[in-house]
């Protein structure tokens, strides 16, 4: 098996042990056969220390925090329209003196917060509705229980009156003892 080390577009064949050692120590990629490896471009993965503990990508400006005024300006703009068109993004970035990408990220984060707030509001509304429904259910269950008790009492009263009426019919009386309502009315007039 032939190993080679790629440097730029030139492959330098080496024996297997030397190749492994050079790949480990130098960071140059190794390939088998005719495929050539590629070195990564240094500006894509190399960072340099700028002295105060912060790292800065080569050729990339450090992202800075927004000031309170910038945030207020973006909030006002967000309240007018949740979406960010490319022209508007460039205009806002120019007005605020920041990168358009930072404006886009701020809007994306703000939309996510807005969506979470909407979800929380919907949750609170649904929770209140649910609690109202539960209270209404409890009230209706109590009302139902009271109606069942009243129904039982009325059924018992009907049964008692039915038995009473049946006993009067068995005794050959068509009216309960004491006469009809008309008879009581006549008796009441006589007694006066």
Classified as helix, coil or strand, 32 is: strand
pLDDT over 80 at 80, yes or no: yes
Residue 114 lies in a domain: yes
Q: Please, which residues have CB within 8 angstroms of residue 32's CB and are 6 or more apart in sequence?
A: 1, 2, 3
Write phi, then psi, for 152 (nearest 5 degrees). Answer: -60, -45
110: confidence class by pLDDT, cuts 50, 70, 90: very high
Taking only the tens place, the pLDDT of each residue in 167-178 is 887 776 655 555
How many domains would you assign to the chain? 2
pLDDT over 70 percentage in the chain: 56
Q: How far, in Å, CA of 190 to CA of 186, rounded?
A: 6
Residues 81, 23, single domain; the answer is no
Residue 185 lies in a domain: no
Q: Which domain holds residue 9?
A: 1-37
Taking only the tens place, the pLDDT of each residue in 123-134 is 999 999 999 999
Output the domain CATH number for residue 102: 1.10.10.60
Helix axes 68-80, 86-96, angle to 10 degrees: 160
Residues 28, 101, single domain; the answer is no
Dihedral of CA atoms 183, 184, 186, 192 in degrees, nearest 10, equals: 160
Instruction: Give the model's pLDDT for residue 82.
Output: 87
Residue 145 lies in a domain: yes
Instruction: Give the model's pLDDT for residue 146.
Output: 95
Q: How far, in Å, CA of 184 to CA of 192, rounded?
A: 12
Q: Which residue has the higher pLDDT, 99 or 182?
A: 99
Most confident of 9-13, 57-61, 63-67, 126-130: 126-130
pLDDT over 50 at 68, yes or no: yes
Residue 135 lies in a domain: yes
Instruction: Give the model's pLDDT for residue 70.
Output: 93
User: CA distances (Å), 164 to each of 151, 157, 160, 173, in order?
Assistant: 20, 10, 6, 11
């Amino acid at each position: 098996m032939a190993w080679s080390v790629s440097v730029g577009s030139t492959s330098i064949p080496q024996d297997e042990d030397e190749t492994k050692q050079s790949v480990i120590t130098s960071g140059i990629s190794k390939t088998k056969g005719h495929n050539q490896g590629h070195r990564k471009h240094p500006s894509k993965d190399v960072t340099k220390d700028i002295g105060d503990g912060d790292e800065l990508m080569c050729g990339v400006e450090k992202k800075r925090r927004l000031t309170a005024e910038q945030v207020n300006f973006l909030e006002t703009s967000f309240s007018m329209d949740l979406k960010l068109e490319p022209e508007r993004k460039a205009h806002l970035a120019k007005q605020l003196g920041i990168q358009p990408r930072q404006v886009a990220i701020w809007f994306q984060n703000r939309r996510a917060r807005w969506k979470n707030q909407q979800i929380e509001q919907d949750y609170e509304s649904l929770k209140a509705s649910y609690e109202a429904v539960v209270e209404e259910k409890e009230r209706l269950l109590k009302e139902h229980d009271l109606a069942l008790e009243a129904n039982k009492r009325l059924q018992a009263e009907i049964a008692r009156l039915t038995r009473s009426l049946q006993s009067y019919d068995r005794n050959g009386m068509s009216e309960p003892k004491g006469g009809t309502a008309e008879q009581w009315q006549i008796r009441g007039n006589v007694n006066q």
